[in-house]
Homo-oligomer: A and B are copies of this chain.
Amino acid sequence: LKPAAVEADRVAADPTNIPGPIKRSSPKTHEIELETTEVVAEIEDGVQFRYMTYGDQVPGPMIRVRQGDTVILTLKASENNAMLHNVDFHAVYGTGGGANATFVTPGQSKTIKFKAMYPGAYIYHCAVPRLDYHISSGMYGMIFVEPKEGLPEVDHELYFGQNEVYTQQSIGAQGMHEFDHEAMRDEISTYVLLNGEKKAITADRRGPVKVKKGETARLFFVNGGPNLSSSFHPIGNVWTKAWREGAIASNPERYVQTTEIPPGSCGIFEMDFPVPSTIHLVDHALSRVASKGMMGDIVVEGK
């Protein structure tokens, strides 16, 4: 394979770089901008891929608002793009969740206004006609609509996203990987990734998340798919509380080992860290871990 010039050093979203908890008790209007980009970056060392992103990161920036807030969202398209893009928010009532009103050609911008009427963690994603290709290439993220009453305090909030990539090459083959539409139709993936790169959030690549013994965390998880359900599991730990589909208005389940999160959905998970350890976040369809790159680590420091 011919190697391709790398245009971005990193697409893996930093799990800790997200908006903080909302303290307000009254509604607010947010002006939020998302930029769609197309950029060659590496899935793993020596493996190039043409990503499509929101904000040059996978998953795209986490948006956080309060139930009842208004969002004025501007979708920009980089002038370097070759394709059309848009955005569908599962948190929004209305045709395409905003997709029809946000189609942007290269260099263009579109603005929509919506009110976040119901609480929960929802996916946003590109929804052009070949939306599966765009999401597989990285175009998805989360909007979290915080309940009016807020959430219990935790020590860390973390953000992870899973998607699978279909290429015409074999996993690890050095050089530029081309997208494989037939493999996608047959749902036979090449890579399954957490935060857009092979084992991105581990010591092997961008480094793990670090927490301390005795602390607690809340995970915001989004499964872009486009096709695979994730059997999301923390090796060496358990979800103390799990809100399936990110449906925070429902009662959580307690002490859940593995939660199946469908493509186009989310999960919210609370974790305790009673012992020093390295926790591997995985899709427990384990060939995706052993053969396809799906893993992210949380190191619990202490003794």
B residues near A255, Cβ cutoff 8 Å? 118-120, 247, 249
CB distance from A200 to the nearest CB of B (A): 19
Task: Indicate how many identical chains form the complex.
Answer: 3
The reply on A35 being an interface residue by CB < 8 A is no
CA–CA, A266 and B233, complex, Å: 13
Within 8 Å CB of A53, what residues of B?
none
Bound together, the chains give a CA A255 to CA B265 distance in angstroms of: 12
Are A259 and B245 also in contact (CB < 8 A) when A94-B275, A238-B118 are?
yes
Count of A residues near B, CB < 8 Å?
A: 77
Chain B residue numbers with a CB within 8 Å of A237 are 93
A131 touches B236 (CB 8 A): no
The residue among A133, A233, A242, A256 with the most chain B CB atoms within 10 A of its own CB is: A256
State whether B88 touches A235 (Cβ < 8 A). Answer: yes
Q: Which of B119, B246, B275, B291 sits near A185, CB closer than 8 Å?
A: B291
Q: Is A8 an interface residue, CB under 8 A from the partner?
A: no
Q: Which of B93, B227, B231 contacts A277 (CB 8 A)?
A: B93
> Is A184 at the interface (CB under 8 A from chain B)?
yes
The reply to whether A236 and B95 form a contact with Cβ atoms under 8 Å apart is: yes
Task: Say if the beta carbon of A135 comes within 8 Å of chain B.
Answer: yes
Residue of B nearest to A88 (CB): B235
Contacts of A262 in B (CB 8 A): 229, 231, 258-260, 284-285
Residue positions of A touching B, CB distance < 8 A: 88, 90-97, 99, 117-120, 122-123, 127, 129-133, 135, 184-188, 225-229, 231, 233, 235-238, 240, 242, 244-247, 249-251, 253-260, 262-266, 272, 274-275, 277-280, 284-292
